[in-house]
Chains A and B, each alone.
Chain A
Amino acid sequence: MNKITLFFFVSTLFISCSQPEKELPKSNEIMLIDGWARPGKAGMMSAAYFKLKNNTGSPDTVLNILSDASKNTQMHLSFKTDDGLMSMKQQQFVAIPSKSEIEFKQGGLHVMIIQPDRDLVEGDSISLRLFLSSSKELVAKVPVKSVN
């Protein structure tokens, strides 16, 4: 190794080591975070909530969500009607813009878990399988927890 090469090697090493610690770039994918499902008795009603973080440079869309807790799950949005009643509207898809985060949260977007086939007890978990328009599938386990 000649002197010039050695100089550049040491300089590069020094510069890279002296950079302030930066947050490592997140993986280039869509992530489901902070998920949870409300406790519920078998045959009654529950719902799941979470955030979806799109770290990619492309928008994506949730087309469907399945769960091992019920054969019947639907995406809905709660809203107030013009005459002041609380209502819900089924969402056939939910867009996730690129480099952004959307939230399924109480009083808003939610995954309706209709008539779960088992008791959903605090401490258990359920799986959610999200089908995206990019042909990707996102699978996550979320805890059953009470937010009383």
Chain B
Amino acid sequence: MKKKQLLVFVLCTLVSYLGCQSGPEIIDDLSDTSFELVNQDSVSVTFPDDYQGKYVVMGFIYTNCPDICPLITQNLIKIQREMGYPDDVQFLGVTFDPERDTPSVLANYKQVFKLNENFDFLTGDPSTINAFMDSVRVRSQVSFTTTTDDGRELYFMNHSDKIMVLDKKSRIIIEYGGSMPQVPTLIIEDFQKLR
């Protein structure tokens, strides 16, 4: 076989091999983890077991965040709306500030954004939330504080900017910068390839 023919053969074999690879790349498998969390209605949630059999689209926020976290929340809302509020996709916002983001605070946040039943916010005890955030590689740290009108200190946080998608087996298959304006389009396109 001449060199050129051999090269064509190798390329065709490679393309064929890549084409046969089915399904998205698995970024991480969370199916063997378990976290006892609570939603905005104080209902206990075991993550990810309670969502197995559904896709999960999940962002990470804290409610005292004035700018970026609302953008992440808006992107989650846009994805849900443009997908037509699918029953088999659970939307989640998980706080990395559990000390302040209690269920009632998250309920207020959910009300402000006028979210529906298939969109929950989760919190938990700080040690569980820390372990959870480690498992999804979300970092946060207090950045600065300001003093409120009544003399209390209010802290703000540096944090990861992330929206991720879990498949029905609780495996992370998609990750994007959560506040990026193009994220809803990218995730919807990715879903179209999945289904």
Residue among B67, B108, B149, B179 having the largest count of chain A Cβ atoms under 10 Å:
B67
Residues of chain B within 8 A (CB-CB) of A47 are 66-67, 70
How far, in whole Å, are A107 and B148 apart by their CA atoms in the complex? 23
Count A-side interface residues using an 8 Å CB cutoff: 31
Is B77 a contact of A86 with CB atoms below 8 Å?
A: no
Whether the pair B109, A44 counts as a contact (CB closer than 8 A) is yes
Interface pair B108/A85, CB less than 8 Å apart: no
User: Is B78 a contact partner of A86 (Cβ separation < 8 A)?
Assistant: no
**In the complex, A41→B144 CA distance in Å?**
23
| Chain A residues, Cβ within 8 Å of B63 | 44-45
Q: For chain A, what secondary structure do more than half of its interface residues adopt (helix, strand, loop), or is it mixed? A: strand
Q: Classify the interface of chain B: helix, strand, loop or mixed.
A: mixed
Tell me, yes or no, whether A114 is within 8 Å of chain B by CB. yes
Number of B residues, CB within 8 Å of A: 34
Q: Does A84 contact B (CB under 8 A)?
A: yes
**B71/A148 in contact, CB under 8 A:** no
**Chain A residues with CB under 8 A of B113:** 146, 148
Given contacts A85-B159, A88-B143, contact A114 B70 (CB under 8 A): no
Q: A44-B108, A110-B67, A146-B114 are in contact. Are A74 and B160 (CB under 8 A)?
A: no
Minimum CB distance partner of A122 in chain B: B114
Partner of A86, one of B68, B74, B148: B68
**A-side interface residues toward B, CB under 8 Å?**
38-41, 44-47, 71-72, 74, 76, 78, 80-81, 84-88, 90, 106-107, 110, 112-115, 146-148
